[in-house]
Amino acid sequence: MSVKEHVHFIGVGGYGMSAVARIMVESGYTVSGSDMQQNELTKQLQELGVTIYQGHAAEHVNGADWVVYSSGIPSENVEMITAKEQGIPLFHRSQMLARLVNEKKGITVAGSHGKTTTSSMIAFLLTHAELDPSFLIGGNVVGLGGNARAGKSPYVVAEADESDRSFLHYHPYLSVVTNIEADHLENYGGQFSNLLAAYEQYLSQVREGGMAIISMDDLHLREMLPKLRGEVITYGRQGAGDYQAINIEEGNCSISFDLLEYGKPLGRITLPVPGKHNVSNALAAIAVGRFLGVSFSCIADAMQHFTNAKRRFQIIGDIDDCLIVDDYAHHPTEIRATLEAAKGTGRRIVAIFQPQRYTRTYYLFEQFGQAFADADEVIITDIYSPAGEKQIEGVSAKRLAELIKEKSNSHVHYVASKDEILQYLLNKDLGHHLVLTMGATDIWKVGTQLLEKRQVTHTKP
């Protein structure tokens, strides 16, 4: 692929697509892209010289040598059709990302949970160590100035998505897996065994001289370890692993631990983000850094100054003794981990959750019901369903609220709309509370609107 070539992106406004587009324009390619709506990511691309079209039209692909599309683009999209008619090579986003990863020393992070945070930590650590990595992350990392950058070193940090099997395109130098759970089974014939086999294949595709890095806190990865080909580094916070966290102490929106490397104490690590799950994420990043020769003192300093990606326990604001936090948690395990982290603040927790997709809610219905024990109050709102998804009989937000009441938390109620949730919160005494919005949707708007309304009230004479 020549740097002079023109690459066009259909659906460029998402985190994954915009990250690849940014890497390519910073690497010297001519880049254009289209999407139905412009957003912060498309504006950033425009500032870098990318031509952005709002909406889709046949003429947008004129002159393109390559066309990249995302999973959300239907085959009947006019730009897809035009590219096929003109014989322009079409690449799925994951295929283009694989080219970037496989051509260099790729460091890819897979797992059901923690991909974005772990990738962010690795990219932040390597940047702090002046290793100048390229990175493509599924979230906007404040400390890195965005979700992507083309560095000058051979290292490329990226998330490896198992949801559509696209992580099997990668042959990385370092292959990280944080954990494995039964999710996205609709793409694995409904069989968890097929998902496990895919992870085993992914971990076995590490290039010569590289390393697989896996968590010993995960049962499935522990059982998979003897089957893996090649060298493996392990980590854990439950008394097992080449890298271990001991003497874990939680603070107010922070956590610290002593680090063991192959049984030898190296020193103490402090993270400015809460939650024991972030200790695990940090151990994975530390294992990468140490393999690449980064000193402990540099790692400790990087971890202490780490700033998480947006929507990963992101503090929206703190006003009148009410802390407002947003998190991307949309799986039962993520919800439990996020609530555990919130509980560590010592505040009363109001958890607001919007389920995404009828299929995910159906497959994980029982697990969702058991996930909210650590909240003092739970609000469930209507399921977000993308266009074209059919409703499943018996699966509804109201029914989920009833199940949560039965299985894990009696202080739960169903509220149909975000406007109703906001009004409820405005009428409630939220002193020494933590209002936590969770979900893969735009439920975060409840938190930002609550902050705006409380700020107006706060400033009134």
Residues annotated as part of the active site? 115-116, 159
- Phi-psi bin for 147: left (phi > 0), alpha (psi -120 to 50), beta? alpha
Contact 100, 172 (CB under 8 A): no
What are the CA-CA distances from residue 276 to residues 3, 238, 282, 306, 356 (Å)? 43, 11, 10, 16, 25
Token code pair at residue 388? 């074209």
If one counts every other C-beta atom within 10 angstroms of the C-beta of residue 85, the result is 10
The Cα–Cα gap between 312 and 290 comes to: 25
Q: What is the DSSP string of 200-258?
A: HHHHTTPPTT-EEEEETTSHHHHHHGGG--S-EEEEESSS-SSEEEEEEEEETTEEEEE
The Cα–Cα gap between 154 and 173 comes to: 10
Residues sharing a CB contact under 8 Å with residue 90, sequence separation 6 or more, in sequence order: 67, 68, 69, 80, 83, 84
Contact 79, 33 (CB under 8 A): no
Contact 37, 13 (CB under 8 A): yes
The Cα–Cα gap between 366 and 66 comes to: 44
Contact 322, 430 (CB under 8 A): yes
The Cα–Cα gap between 284 and 215 comes to: 8
Write b or e for each residue in 253-271: b if 16 or more Cβ atoms lie within 10 A of its Cβ, otherwise e: bbbbbebbbeeeebeebbb
Residues sharing a CB contact under 8 Å with residue 190, sequence separation 6 or more, in sequence order: none
Helix (H, G, I), strand (E, B) or coil at 348: strand
